[in-house]
Every structure is written in structure tokens, then in C-alpha cells.
Amino acid sequence: MKVTLPKGTKDILPDEMIGWRFVENTFYQICINSGYGEIRTPVFEYTNLFNRGVGDTTDIVQKEMYTFNDKGGRSLTLRPEGTAGVARSFIEKGMASLPQPVKLFYMITAYRYENVQKGRYREFNQLGAEIFGAAGPVADVEVISLLNNFFSKLGLDKLSLEINSIGCPGCRNAYNVKLKEYYSDRIDGMCADCKRRFDTNPLRLIDCKNESCIAASLDAPLMLDNLCGECASHFSGVKAGLDSLDIKYTVNPRIVRGLDYYTKTVFEFVSENVGTQGTVCGGGRYDGLVESLGGSGTPGIGFSLGVERLFMELESNNIITGDKLVPEIYFVTIGEKAYAYARKLSCALRRAGVYTEMDLLGRSVKAQMKDADRKNARYVLVVGDDEIRQNKAQIKIMETGELKDVSLDSIYKRILEKKVQVV
Ligand code: HAM
């Protein structure tokens, strides 16, 4: 039987990885320029972190986690997202005693047992950032502006930013009462998920994508109209901050997000190109998360962006991320002595940062030339015993086909000095 990839996973092959590296490097640089430090947390955590952090009532915890007992009988879960693990680390490593706020970013794989479809996988990649210890709307604006910078650096200007506020526990509790009142005589005609959430998390009924549920929700009261004074003023502050940076957004009062930890601001970057859900990036404020995991009361805000969905968006916009790498020099060698000589030179150049290629299969000169051509090498240096004896070799400029004599002694120096303008 042929061994295959597990459903919902993929290999990212070398040609694609060039684009991935470009995206990750761009994200890395933008985060570093914005004062964030990179963090890596484990792929698996104790299951109760996600039960408490992401929330018992969420689809993620109820249906989608990869949970298993290890050989010591501990319940572990492959992380379904990054925020809970980062918050756990913030608490465990005493980051509350560092100068605040603490700004962190990460590039991770995450795991959810989902129905696999376009833009939805079981192993996927997220780029994310979190700020701990900053309660004001300026922090919300900062994370959104980081994303805005990232997208514009990639040349993406078609993603739409949608924002909302889902209030704090105070105003949301009062709102939940209103919501339940509204849905009480409609819930019978709604889907099984909504029926389940009616008691535990009625806010989620608002964004159910099921047709009969959409119809039932048309006149539902909205959180945005029921915010307390502090939450309303926070939301105004976020909008004013985005306006002052000319960041375009629409207020979508139906964004509620699928994780329990959110408070106040929630936001998504959406696009038509990434499958049914359309969300490339999601985030928001979670002022109660650290405390709910046993830390001292610390506000938080952040986002995660799905890299696979980002690539769908880049591809639909014909944006090429990173050029295929081509060797500067391909050493074509004739005979063992020449091979050993060229290998030394090639190694030295590689150490100095120049991409060089050499044959590893004992190929003929003709086959080596063909390989150099296939790899799009910029220069080919033909080295044989005679060339070494005379300290002279021919270099071919592949673009023009022109041949030039070069002295072997000087070639290393010339390549480095002239930044690989060899001739
Ligand atoms: P999320 O909305 O669950 O939020 O996921 C964020 C992004 O991850 C989504 O917008 C999507 O691009 C990508 N994503 C999620 N599930 C899948 C999947 N099955 N296949 C492919 N891509 C997927 C979070 O994870 C929060 N931790 C975001 C956050 C950070 N909020 C505050 N800080």
C-alpha cells in the first residue's frame, strides 16, 4: 500500500517554499520593526489550557481538537491556535513583571479536525502577534496597523477590514438576556448548533451561516447597540485611530468570532478568494484571558493570519512572492583534479554567500552544461587540468552566450569584489 499524506495536510515543496520564506521574512521584519519579540511555544499543551482558554462552548474545543493521552496518562492537545499557548507562557515565565506592554509574535502550525475544503485544512500555518498589558484602543490600532503594513508590503490592497465590538462581560451579560428573549420563539426553527449554543453562547447565533438561521437573526438586537459607556468609548477610540492612519474599514456588527476569550474589539480581514468563510485573518481583544488561566488581570489584543489563505489571496491577485533562486556560477569540470579544485573554490564562495552549483553525478561535460542551462546559471566556468596548469579558464555568460578568459587566481576575489559580476 502506498503511504500518503494524512487528510487535510500538505507538503510545501521547494518552489513554493521560496514564496513562504518571502512571506515569513516580510512578516518577521515588520514585527521586529514594530518592537515585537518572537516566541515559540510547544506544538502540544495540556488539554485544559484550551478548554479554559479557547472555551468549552466553542466548536474548536467541542469538535475539532486533536486530543490524546500520552504514555504517562496526561491529556495533551495539539494546539488549535496560538494565543492560548502564548498567554500560558506569559503567565508561566513571569512576563507580567517585565516592562509593559509585552509584544510578541509567532509563526506556527496549528491543528483542527475540520471538514477539509478550500482554505480549510487540518494542519495549517498561522502568523500572529499579541500585545499584553495595554488596555487602551491605541493597542488595537497598533496591531491592525501592523497587519496593514504587512499587507501593503506584500502588495495586497484588496483585503477588507471589518471591525466590531462584542463588549465586556458586564454589558454582554445584559445583552445575552436580550438575545435569548429575542431567539426564544425562533430557536425551534434554527440549526442544531444554534440550539446547543442558545444556552451556552447565544452571541454565536448571530453569525450562523445556515440559511434558516440567517433569516431568524435578521432583526436580532446587536451588541454594538448595547455596549456600556466604557466599551462604546473604547470602540470610538479604535475607529478614530484607524481613521487617523487612513486605514479603511467597515463596521460589521455581526462579527462575533469563534473563540470565547474575546472582549471589546474584534476584527477580520476578509476576501472573496479564500473559500466559504472568507477570513484571511482574525483577531481581537481578550482582556480576561490571562486571568482565566490563573495569571493576574492583564489586558491583551492580537491576531492570527492563515498563511494558506494568504497565499490563495496572493495568487488570485497574481502577486509573485520571491523569485526562483538561480546559481551565480556553475562549475563545469573535466577530470578529478579540476573537480577537486573547483569544489574548493565553490565551497569558499558558498561560505561567502554566493550560490554556486557543481555536478554530483559524475556527468559528462555536455550533461553538466545542460544541467547549468536547466538551472538558469548566470555564469558557467569550465575547468579542466589544462586550465589549472595555465591558471586560466573560460567563463560563459549564459544570457548572451559570450565566452571570456579569466585567471583562476583572481576569480574568487573578483566574484566577491564585484558582487558576482565576474566578467
Ligand atoms: P481564528 O479566526 O480561529 O483565530 O484563526 C485565525 C486564522 O487562521 C483564520 O482567519 C484563518 O485564516 C486561519 N485558519 C483557521 N482555521 C483554519 C483552517 N482549518 N485551515 C486553514 N486556515 C485556518 C485564532 O486562531 C485566534 N488565535 C486569533 C487571535 C490571536 N485573536 C487574538 N489573538
If asked whether residues 18 and 67 sit together in one domain, one would say yes
Q: How far is the CA of 281 from the centre of ligand 1 (A)?
A: 6
pLDDT value, residue 373: 96
55 assigned to some structural domain: yes
Could you tell me the CATH number of the domain that includes residue 141?
A: 3.30.930.10
If asked whether residues 214 and 81 sit together in one domain, one would say no
If asked whether residues 84 and 213 sit together in one domain, one would say no
* Rg of the chain taking only CA atoms, in angstroms: 28
Does 327 sit behind a cis peptide bond, omega within 30 degrees of 0 on the bond before it? no
C-alpha cell at 134: 495595554
If asked whether residues 302 and 346 sit together in one domain, one would say no
If asked whether residues 187 and 281 sit together in one domain, one would say no
If asked whether residues 156 and 209 sit together in one domain, one would say no
| Average confidence score pLDDT of the chain | 94
pLDDT value, residue 423: 47
If asked whether residues 222 and 252 sit together in one domain, one would say no
Q: Which of 178, 193, 227 is the last residue of a domain?
A: 227
Q: Which of 275, 294, 316 is the last residue of a domain?
A: 316
87 assigned to some structural domain: yes
Q: How far is the CA of 197 from the centre of ligand 1 (A)?
A: 21
Ligand 1 binding pocket (C-beta < 6 A) is 81-83, 112, 114, 119-121, 124, 126, 128, 130, 258-259, 279-284, 302-304, 306, 308-309
Convert 306-375 into a string of H (helix), E (strand) and C (coil): EHHHHHHHHHHCCCCCCCCCCCCEEEEEECHHHHHHHHHHHHHHHHCCCCEEECCCCCCHHHHHHHHHHC
pLDDT value, residue 115: 94
pLDDT value, residue 273: 79
303 assigned to some structural domain: yes
Could you tell me the CATH number of the domain that includes residue 369?
A: 3.40.50.800
334 assigned to some structural domain: yes
1 assigned to some structural domain: no
237 assigned to some structural domain: no
If asked whether residues 206 and 134 sit together in one domain, one would say no
Pocket mutation for ligand 1, best pick of 81, 102, 262, 314 (most atoms within 8 Å of C-beta): 81
CA distance 231 to 335: 77
Q: How far is the CA of 299 from the centre of ligand 1 (A)?
A: 20
5 assigned to some structural domain: no
If asked whether residues 55 and 127 sit together in one domain, one would say yes
Q: How far is the CA of 266 from the centre of ligand 1 (A)?
A: 13
Q: Closest ligand 1 atom, CA of 128?
A: 30
Q: Closest ligand 1 atom, CA of 130?
A: 33
C-alpha cell at 46: 495540556
Cβ atoms of 357 and 329 within 8 Å: the answer is: yes
Residue 350 domain boundaries: 329-416
Pocket mutation for ligand 1, best pick of 126, 271, 277, 308 (most atoms within 8 Å of C-beta): 126
> Could you tell me which residues come within 8 angstroms of residue 336 by beta carbon, excluding any fewer than 6 positions away?
none
pLDDT value, residue 296: 96
Q: Closest ligand 1 atom, CA of 280?
A: 12
If asked whether residues 55 and 122 sit together in one domain, one would say yes
pLDDT value, residue 367: 98
Residues of the chain with pLDDT under 50: 420, 423
Q: Which of 259, 283, 316 is the last residue of a domain?
A: 316
Please count the residues of the chain. Answer: 423
How many structural domains compose the chain?
A: 3
Give the ranges where 34-136 is alpha helix by DSSP (H): 47-53, 59, 83-92
If asked whether residues 146 and 259 sit together in one domain, one would say yes
If asked whether residues 148 and 251 sit together in one domain, one would say yes
290 assigned to some structural domain: yes
Nearest CA-CA partner of 39 in 118, 121, 104: 104
pLDDT value, residue 276: 67
